[in-house]
Amino acid sequence: MPIEELISQRITGVEPFNELPIDADVWREAHGQHNSHRMLHAVAAHRPGIFYGMEVFPGKKDRTVVVAPGMAVDAEGHTILLSEPATFVLEEKGQIYITAAYESNVDSRSAITVGGGKKYYRLVEGRQVVASKELPHGPYLELARIDRSGKDKAVKEAANAFDPEEDELNLLYRELAFPHCFADGGIGELCFLPVADPSEWKPNRAGLYNMIREANGLGFHISFQGLFNLRSAGEGAAPFLLYVSCAGEFQPLNKEQLEGLRRYLDSGGTLFAEASGGGDGFAKSFADVAKAAGASLKPLSNASPLHTSHYLFSSPPVGGVDKGAITADLKAGVILSTQDYGAAWQGLVPKPDDEDSRDRIRRAIEFGLNVVAFAADRKRRAALARI
């Protein structure tokens, strides 16, 4: 329903007093006032779309599609919750639409006998997630579509997300609500002890905290989770991103720490390592860690997800040093930077009085959010792969 129609509807409520007779109509009007305001707020302030999750991806068997759990709001302000994955087997040729719609049903366990018949006093808010040849007639959200060349064809992810071909999932018609949750989870630190001065193991903590603070005003729901013990990796919930920075060479990790790092990365975690000051010493020490973790670090390509995961970049921006570089193995979840973005995140740039220094800091934070968005997506994909 267009917002113009929603705001044209009259909202009434109930003014209570002790002698007021309460019947079904009065009760309905009293609660209806609150529901109307809640739905108007959802559709006007947040706009229809997906808040979180509801990703669509090929299932483990041919011709299957899975919709992940998530939350959305429709054009009338109804909240759509999907608490468990929904799986479909596609058996028809042609265009298939995968949609979600709100529905409300009565709870059969709430039946009471009234006048010789049954009445149900409890409503259960639900949803319909379907794969169909036609779009629904009422309010709905499109989650994906796919043009199938044959009824036996396997479902594939699109090689080019902006130009899906036959039998590839088309996600171009998904709408995002405002503010969409781009990431949900925690960011932790690792402690690599510098050889020169072990007490200087967290030179960029202030910058990391500033970047997290900025993120939480821009649709990221993330928290600083402090020092992460690699020995405990795999024993419970872990941050989706670990950040480590120090200047120069650092003391080697022991066997337990390396095994924990491998477990962490294998579970979908991402490690972002930075050379404080941009020196080569840290990069040389980190090369051994990356190799032991199974990563092969290479320069970023122009099409790297780190350039497009949230903000758009043609190449990595400068950070707290004038000359730096980024190498990574994104499949393994390992990123090495000698740009020292963590310094820029706390305002430490080579020419602080230069008129371009503020733009430099802003670009460094935006690229940091690209790392966060990439890491959150990597963790989410690892979780969905287990469905």
> CA neighbours within 13 Å on the CB side: how many for 282?
24
User: Residue 260 in contact with residue 242, Cβ under 8 Å?
Assistant: no
Q: Provide CATH 3.40.50.12140 ranges for the chain.
A: 183-385
Q: Which whole number is the average pLDDT over 291-300? A: 96
What's the Cα-to-Cα distance from 318 to each of 341, 346, 365, rounded to whole Å? 8, 14, 11
pTM score, whole prediction = 0.88
pLDDT confidence of residue 348: 95
Per-residue pLDDT of 235-246, as tens digits, reads 778 999 999 999
Mean pLDDT of the chain: 93
Q: Which whole number is the average pLDDT over 253-274? A: 96
Q: Would you say residue 105 has pLDDT above 80?
A: yes
Q: Which of residues 115 and 129 earns the better pLDDT score?
A: 129
pLDDT confidence of residue 179: 87
Cα–Cα nearest to 327, from 374, 283, 292: 283
- 362-376: b (≥16 Cβ within 10 Å) or e: ebbbbbbbbbbbbbb
DSSP reduced 3-state for 306: helix
183-385 classified as CATH 3.40.50.10280: no
pLDDT confidence of residue 115: 85
pLDDT confidence of residue 367: 98
In this structure, of 112-126, 130-144, 191-205, the range with the lowest mean pLDDT score is: 112-126
- DSSP tally for the chain: helices H, then strands E: 7, 18
pLDDT confidence of residue 237: 84
Q: Which whole number is the average pLDDT over 200-218? A: 95
Question: Which tokens hold the place of 344?
Answer: 């820029």
Residue 192 is which amino acid?
A: F
pLDDT confidence of residue 7: 76
pLDDT band (50, 70, 90) for residue 1? low
Helix, strand, coil % in the chain, rounded to nearest 5: 30, 25, 45
pLDDT confidence of residue 233: 84
Q: Which whole number is the average pLDDT over 150-166? A: 94
DSSP reduced 3-state for 68: coil
The CA-based angle 24-28-29, given to 5 degrees, is 120
